[in-house]
Structure 1
Amino acid sequence: MKTENSIDLSIIIPVYNEEESIPALYNRLKEVMSETAYSFELIFVDDGSKDNSLQVLREIKETSAINIRIVQLNRNFGQHPALNAGFSVAEGKVLITIDADLQIDPRHISDMMDKMKQGYDFVSGIRRGKGDSFLLRRFPSLVLNSMIGSIIGKKLQDYGCPLNAMRSEIAETMREYGEMQRFFKPLAIKLADRIAETEVKYDRRLTGQSKYGFLNLVDLFFDFVTNFSKHLFQRVAMIGFGLSGISFLVEILYLVLRFPFGIIQNPLDRLQAIALIGFVFGVQLLILGILGDFVIKIYRKIDPKPLYIIKKIW
């Protein structure tokens, strides 16, 4: 665990088969950061690339005067585990995450830091532009943003933006949350006190292919639900309790108005049926929520597999 942060920024870049974009990204980062007064380090996390990404990174490190570290994972773990691997070795006061594909210009890092200076703990980008297909990527992302925000309890316009800034203390705290780190941004948002967003220009890819398709987003969401479902099941239980309670009160009110007072003369079979169905359904939701919460607690205790495995650090 770090005892002192002597570097202002740690810029963490997960890399998976990005050999074509890495040189351009490095040059752009060097150009942008040279215009600032921040001390910084670049941390490239090779997430089991199958192309020459690792070799390209090593060549850049050997010839660069910039503080660069390369974290090689022993296989492909995914974007968020790769970021967490980067967090584990970062020495900066503020941690910046950005993708290697240059769809977002690194110059927006300065915008992030302007927000951080205002006392925010986490700053998220809001992508503006036409970087991806609306039907296959952007629309599903909008739906996921809404669902994730509902589960976390904190709304963001763009939970999927790869450009983010957060204080290193949040990353330190995240290590206590096991598998939940697999979704670092929702977890970081949950832990942060003050959150801000800033717009960033989002362009189309110039090289390579996106690692996330529609099915990947669906799979990612179900993994998210598994890890954050404690909150989801709590809400299911609350809905079930409310529905069964309202249905029970409606049935009691009907019986009181019909028999002791005689205000309702004829039997309302449909109302009774709806109230009964609502009560039964509500009880089922309540039981599902309680059991789901219980199962998740067990799952977190018996699932010790590592989030990532670092093979070597250059």
Structure 2
Amino acid sequence: MNTPQLSVVIPVYNEEEGLQTLFDRLYPTLDNLGISYEIVFINDGSRDRSAAILREQFQRRHDVTRVILFNGNFGQHMAITAGFEHARGARVVTLDADLQNPPEEISKLLAKMDEGYDYIGSIRKQRNDSWWRHMGSRTMNRLRERITNIKMTDQGCMLRAYDRPLIDAINSCKEVNTFVPALAYTFARNPAEVMVEHEERALGESKYSLYSLIRLNFDLMTGFSVVPLQWFSMAGIAISLMSAFFVVFLLVRRLFVGPEAEGLFTLFAIAFFLIGLTLFGIGLLGEYIGRIYLQVRHRPRYLIQAVLDKTE
């Protein structure tokens, strides 16, 4: 079997309204590249007609189309992981199905890889998202970089290119919770970034709520660094020292000034602060223990209902 030069991995979740537009733009774009390619769609448990539309597209272009049908919804990054495990290309590009990242920009990533880079990230030139997503993404990017030392200018842009050795390294990992771009960055020998266009979602709606974005970034920071635990440990040491000094201060004050009750509410405020900090630390510790718990159960990361492939 000939190895294609390029594999395009596209997770799909409830995108029936925009799939035909994606097909109309993606296939001509890849045909014009003049290289052999395959497109690997992963239907992540869609509840609409996405699976049926992907089946129809496979029948029309079975020469370059492969479809993986999940048995349920396992998340975007598990879908990308499954796509990586089935992709055969020497280079792999990930692309969202919502067309916010134009498929015409794929050539920019491949041209950058031709310069000797093994991992190409992308930066959206002009984001067409809501203001709260834009500001939240910028804030979380800065915080994530300080905690994990992973330098991705635009972590929310999934238009990325990976060289085959990098894909093989990612496939060797069996993490239950992961963030694929960050995982690739830890393995990349020579990463780079390019500026790409960004379009407003024309059809359908975003699959990421505010809670989902917070949850994703929490997983990212706890999955690639123990710095949050170290910060909390240092905060505990600092508070313990301040508490010791405060006890000495209260003792000296009692000896020289005498007993008084005016500082009662101050003590209450300090106690509530320390209780809140303790609960936060317990929750943070629980995040790491929870990740260990999910990993050691050794349950399947995803279940595949069917694979549509002309060779299978």
After TM superposition, what 4+ stretches of structure 1 lie above 6 angstroms from structure 2?
240-244
Distance 2:150 2:222 in 1: 18
- What is the rounded CA distance, in whole Å, between the counterparts of 1:178 and 1:132 in structure 2? 33
TM-score by length of 1: 0.77
The whole-number CA distance in structure 2 between the counterparts of 1:298 and 1:109 is 37
1:302 is displaced (CA, Å) by 2.2
Which is worse superposed, 73-82 or 27-36? 27-36
Please say if 1:196 is aligned against 2:192: yes
Count the aligned residue pairs: 272
Q: Please, which of 216, 219, 234 is the counterpart of residue 215 of structure 2?
A: 219
Pair 1:66–1:24, CA change in 2 (3 A): farther
The structure-2 alpha-carbon separation of the partners of 1:49 and 1:93, relative to structure 1 and needing over 3 Å to count, comes to same
Contact residue 179 and residue 227 of structure 1 kept, 8 A:
no
Question: Which of residues 81, 89, 92 in structure 2 aligns to 1:92?
Answer: 89
Deviation of residue 196 (structure 1)?
Answer: 0.8
Q: Counterpart in 2 of 1:261? A: none
Of residues 99, 105, 130 in structure 2, which corresponds to 1:102? 99
Find the counterpart in structure 2 of residue 131 from structure 1: 128
Deviates more, 1:227-236 or 1:16-25: 227-236
Which residue matches 1:27?
24
Counting only pairs closer than 5 Å after superposition, residues 161-176 of structure 1 correspond to structure 2 as 161-176=157-172
Q: Percent identity?
A: 34
CA contact (8 A) 2:222 2:228 kept: no
Deviation at 1:131, TM superposition (A): 2.0
- 1:83 and 2:80 aligned: yes
Amino acid across the alignment from 1:99: D
What are structure 1's unaligned runs of at least 5 residues?
A: 252-280
AA matched with 1:214: L
TM-aligned CA distance change 1:139 to 1:18, over 3 Å: same
- 1:304 to 2:298 alignment: yes
* Unmatched runs of 5 consecutive residues or more in structure 2: 246-273
Of 105, 118, 130, the residue aligned with 1:121 is 118
Offset of 1:50 from its aligned partner? Answer: 0.5
Give runs of aligned pairs for residues 1-314 of structure 1, distance below 5 A: 6-64=3-61, 66-135=63-132, 137-179=133-175, 182-234=178-230, 239=234, 295=289, 299=293, 302-314=296-308
* 1-structure distance, mates of 2:159, 2:2: 21
Q: Distance in 1 between matches of 2:168 and 2:236?
A: 37
TM-score by length of 2: 0.77
Q: Is contact 1:152-1:186 (8 Å) kept?
A: no
Q: CA deviation at 1:232?
A: 3.8
- 1:275 matched residue in structure 2: none
Q: Give 1:242 shift.
A: 9.8
The 1:65/1:223 distance shift into structure 2, 3 A limit, reads closer
SS of alignment partner, residue 5 of structure 2: strand
Looking at structure 2, the residues matched to 36 and 73 of structure 1 have their Cα atoms a distance apart, in angstroms, of: 30
* SS across alignment from 2:150: coil
- Specify whether residues 5 and 294 from structure 1 end up closer, same or farther in structure 2 by C-alpha distance, changes over 3 A only: farther
1:312 CA displacement: 0.8
CA RMSD across the alignment: 3.0
C-alpha distance in structure 2 between counterparts of 1:159 and 1:199, whole Å: 13
Name the amino acid aligned to 1:209: E
